[in-house]
Amino acid sequence: MDAGAAYTPPDRPLVVLHADEALLLVDKPSGLLSVPGKGPHLADCLLSRLQARFPEVLLVHRLDRDTSGVMVFARTGSAQRHLGLQFERRIVEKRYVARAWGRVGAPDGMIELPLRTDWPRRPMQMVCHEQGRPARTRWVRMAHDATGSRLALFPETGRSHQLRVHLREIGHPVLGDPFYAPPEALAAASRLMLHAESLRLRHPLGGAWCAFDTPAPF
């Protein structure tokens, strides 16, 4: 979260995509923290809103405050452990949609750049070939428009800010990104144009593959 920006989370009803005895899938809005931040002014978050309605719900993963889209939560401890291992072992398949600055020339590609925290400017991340952790993002160009390119992104690792830094490093930052976009790309959109469109995972009860989707609102 941008330390210099006031936190004004959106006031909108929860959008539940799926609920069963083990899983809860929701569509997180842009501008809402996944978990509480430091201090009472950052207490409002998706997790706390869900716990008010589903007291048993447990965190599995996170999305950045300004990223929207599919998040999965567990409703039992065993489901949380099962899902956590799937994320750790990269079994979960994730698809994001982004609007990126500039005209991306190639139809697809792979970005392999190691990342670490930029400690003087945290929570920002940076490429570091000496101390960074491996990070891989596959991308496919979907379309062009007046302000840039629409991309499908398939992260093969789950580093903090991975998609945002990787796109910045290839010269196509995400529109509306308060951390990594230059002024003209920041001003080109009213929000971070990054959306978690799809999650595909194995159900904790029985192991069947299941997919959950929510279309990008941009």
CA distances from 190 to 52, 91, 181, 193 (A): 30, 33, 13, 8
The whole-number mean pLDDT for each consecutive block of 10 residues of the chain, a chain of 218 residues, reads 73 96 98 95 97 98 98 98 98 98 97 98 97 98 93 97 98 98 97 98 98 97
CB contact set of 83 (below 8 Å; sequence gap of 6+): 23, 60, 61, 72, 74, 92, 201, 204
H/E run at residue 119: none
Q: What is the pLDDT of residue 165?
A: 98
List the structure tokens of 71: 């998040």
Indicate whether 45 belongs to any domain. Answer: no
| Residue among 114, 112, 173, 102 nearest 144 (CA) | 102
What does the alpha-carbon distance between residue 74 and residue 76 come to, in Å, rounded to a whole number?
Answer: 6
Indicate whether 122 belongs to any domain. Answer: yes
Range of the domain at 123: 96-194
What does the alpha-carbon distance between residue 123 and residue 180 come to, in Å, rounded to a whole number?
Answer: 12
**Secondary structure (3-state) at 81:** helix
Q: Are 132 and 118 in contact (CB under 8 A)?
A: no
Indicate whether 164 belongs to any domain. Answer: yes
**Secondary structure (3-state) at 7:** coil
**Phi, psi values for residue 35, rounded to 5°:** -135, 165
**Please, where are the H alpha helices in 54-104?**
77-88
Indicate whether 134 belongs to any domain. Answer: yes
Identify whether 108 is a catalytic site residue: no
Cα 180 from chain centroid? 15
| Residue among 194, 104, 181 nearest 148 (CA) | 104
| Structural domains counted in the chain | 1
64, 118, 177, 213: which one is catalytic?
A: 64
Indicate whether 116 belongs to any domain. Answer: yes
Indicate whether 7 belongs to any domain. Answer: no
Question: pTM for the complete prediction?
Answer: 0.95
Indicate whether 63 belongs to any domain. Answer: no
Strand partners, 98: 151, 194
| Residue among 97, 161, 174, 93 nearest 132 (CA) | 161
The CATH number of whichever domain residue 161 belongs to comes to 3.30.2350.10
Indicate whether 151 belongs to any domain. Answer: yes
Residue with tokens 């796109």: 167
